């Protein structure tokens, strides 16, 4: 009986080993040996990306089907890489079981910038398709890569704050005290404005209190960006004489304009803010919080205040005869603690989050 048991054991072991080896053989699937090519777009094709149509299709890719020699679902992954890197660090863009894919303007633009292309300058990227199946140990198949030319646009400009520094400002050359902010456009993050008093000899702009970089100044008639303190120090935005100026800067286009201000110069005794932001309901419109007038420029006001989510306006001389909002309407505010700045010459305001 013992001999019979041993015979059955040996048979079972041999059968198991054969099954494992056979299963492993089945799991290894080799793709076709024939060339696997991208059909469209053509190698060397060129596209200019338009930021005004971000949801439009910018690139339609089609490719040949890969045959693994047995019925199986093949997954195709579109991959991009910086040109001449042999896909050392490929970006997976989209995956499909079909032999075609579309990529929008916004998606293609983001990948192009991620791969190091420069906005508004034509550059190239490499494209290939990677074919795989879900079977363990199956071999991926890579298409012959193509190169396409792209002209990307600048992505969404980040929301930053900018502060004045330099001999023309209240701070002088200090980056730690009296640095007034300039006013960001409520709709376009790259545009800023400031109307106010300057001493002569000009000014620069810094992004963070206490740091000399990032910073902005001039290089002739253009704006020069200084990313680190080791970069070339830009020139000042010019104020040749003390007085009131209107200043505009576009950090996306690196342009600026500064002209003497000749508009109304009404000086107010008080500026207050009021609204539901003070109480969380409409009773807040019966309450006013005074702002502090700048000793450097009587038209610049500031207060640090914790606000509820809601609506508000600024008022002059505790009266509704003169008030400011967002294009005449209420200013919509999210809950938080803010350093609030207001300019009574042009009605612009800034809310800077603070701990």
Q: Is residue 184 part of a domain?
A: yes
Q: What is the pLDDT of residues 102-123, one digit of tens each?
A: 999 989 998 998 898 888 899 9
Residue 182 CA to residue 191 CA, distance in Å, equals 10
Strands 100-104 and 123-133: unpaired
Q: Is residue 189 part of a domain?
A: yes
Least confident window among 100-104, 155-159, 217-221, 314-318: 155-159
Whether residue 123 sits in one domain with residue 41: yes
Q: Is residue 336 part of a domain?
A: yes
On the 0-12 / 13-18 / 19+ scale of CB atoms within 10 A, 42 is exposed
What's the pLDDT score for residue 69?
73
Q: What is the pLDDT of residues 259-308, one digit of tens each?
A: 999 999 999 999 999 999 999 999 999 999 999 999 999 999 999 999 99
**Residue of 218, 315, 328, 225 whose CA lies nearest to 271:** 315
Whether residue 176 sits in one domain with residue 280: no
Instruction: Please provide the size of the chain in residues.
Output: 355
Q: What totals of helices (H) and strands (E) does the chain contain, helices first? A: 2, 26
349: CATH: 2.60.40.3620
φ, ψ of residue 293 in degrees (nearest 5): -75, 140
* Eight-class DSSP state of 290: E
| Enclosing domain of residue 341 | 271-353
* Eight-class DSSP state of 49: -
The total domain count for the chain is 3
Domain end position, chosen among 211, 240, 260? 260
Tokens of 303: 């207060």
CB atoms within 10 A of CB 160: 13
Whether residue 242 sits in one domain with residue 131: no
Q: Would the pTM count as exceeding 0.75? A: no
Domain end position, chosen among 107, 130, 151? 151
Q: Where do we find the tokens 């009773």? A: 283
Type and span of the H or E element at 20: helix 2-27
Domain end position, chosen among 207, 225, 260? 260
Q: What is the pLDDT of residues 189-200, one digit of tens each?
A: 999 999 999 999
Whether residue 103 sits in one domain with residue 179: no
Q: Do 80 and 126 meet the contact criterion of CB atoms below 8 Å apart?
A: yes
What's the pLDDT score for residue 32?
60
């Amino acid at each position: 009986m013992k001999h019979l048991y041993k015979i059955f054991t040996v048979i079972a072991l041999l059968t198991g080993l054969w099954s494992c080896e056979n299963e492993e053989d089945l799991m290894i699937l080799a793709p076709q040996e024939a060339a696997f090519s991208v059909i469209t777009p053509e190698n060397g094709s060129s596209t200019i990306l338009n930021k005004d149509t971000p949801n439009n299709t910018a690139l339609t890719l089609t490719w040949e089907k890969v045959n693994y020699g047995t019925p199986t679902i093949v997954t195709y992954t579109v991959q991009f890489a910086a040109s001449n890197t042999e896909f050392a660090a490929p970006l997976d863009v989209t995956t499909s079981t079909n032999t075609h894919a579309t990529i929008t303007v916004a998606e293609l633009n983001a990948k192009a910038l991620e791969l190091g292309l420069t906005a508004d300058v034509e550059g190239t990227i490499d494209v290939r398709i990677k074919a795989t199946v879900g079977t363990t140990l199956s071999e991926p198949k890579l298409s012959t890569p193509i190169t396409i030319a792209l002209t990307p646009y600048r992505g969404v400009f980040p929301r930053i704050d900018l502060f004045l520094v330099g001999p023309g400002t209240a701070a002088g050359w200090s980056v730690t005290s009296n640095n007034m902010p300039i006013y960001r456009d409520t709709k376009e993050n790259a545009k800023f404005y400031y109307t106010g008093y300057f001493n002569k000899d000009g000014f620069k702009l810094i992004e963070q209190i206490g740091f000399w970089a990032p910073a902005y100044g001039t290089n002739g008639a253009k704006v020069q960006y200084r990313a680190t303190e080791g970069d070339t120090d830009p020139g000042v935005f010019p104020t040749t004489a003390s007085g009131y100026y209107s200043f505009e800067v576009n950090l996306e286009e690196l342009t600026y304009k500064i002209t003497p201000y000749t508009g109304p110069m009404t000086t107010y005794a008080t500026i207050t803010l009021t609204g539901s932001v003070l109480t969380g309901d409409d009773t807040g419109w019966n309450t006013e919080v005074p702002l502090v007038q700048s000793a450097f420029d009587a038209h610049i006001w500031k207060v640090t205040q914790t606000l509820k989510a809601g609506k508000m306006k600024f008022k002059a001389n505790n009266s509704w005869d003169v008030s400011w909002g967002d294009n005449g309407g209420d200013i919509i505010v999210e809950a938080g603690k803010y350093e609030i700045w207001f300019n009574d010459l042009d009605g612009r305001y800034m809310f800077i989050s603070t701990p």
